[in-house]
Structure 1
Amino acid sequence: MYGIVLSSNEDFNDSTIFSIFIDEFYTLIYNVNKDLLNLYM
């Protein structure tokens, strides 16, 4: 992510915030699914 040189600070900030949001979202989904699997096992 940080290896890409972007044209402006705004682009960098937007993409960084978006990447963090995606990471948090997938982590949340993963944890919820893991808990559900534990319930059914």
Structure 2
Amino acid sequence: MLSLPCAINSNYTTILVFIIAIRMLFLQASLTFYRLQILVLLP
């Protein structure tokens, strides 16, 4: 485990950050869609 090259470790960290950013964006988009649905359904 400790013998892994540094390049693979940094690549894994980049992928992890990328996945977290995508999940945050998806969560924000779904929340915005939910709010828009509420605004449409209220009147």
- For Structure 1 versus Structure 2, the TM-score category normalised by the shorter chain is 0.7 to 0.9
Query: Which structure has greater helix proportion?
Result: 2
Of all paired residues, the percent bearing the same amino acid is 17
Residue 39 of structure 1 and its aligned partner are, at CA, apart by: 0.5
User: Relative contact order, CA 8 A, sep 6+: which one is greater?
Assistant: 1
Alignment-derived partner of residue 21 in structure 2: 21
TM-score, normalization: structure 1? 0.80
Q: CA RMSD in A?
A: 1.1
Q: Which runs of 5+ in 1 are unaligned?
A: 1-6
Runs of 4+ in 1 over 6 A off after TM superposition: none
- TM-fit CA distance, 1:18: 0.1
Unmatched runs of 5 consecutive residues or more in structure 2: 1-6
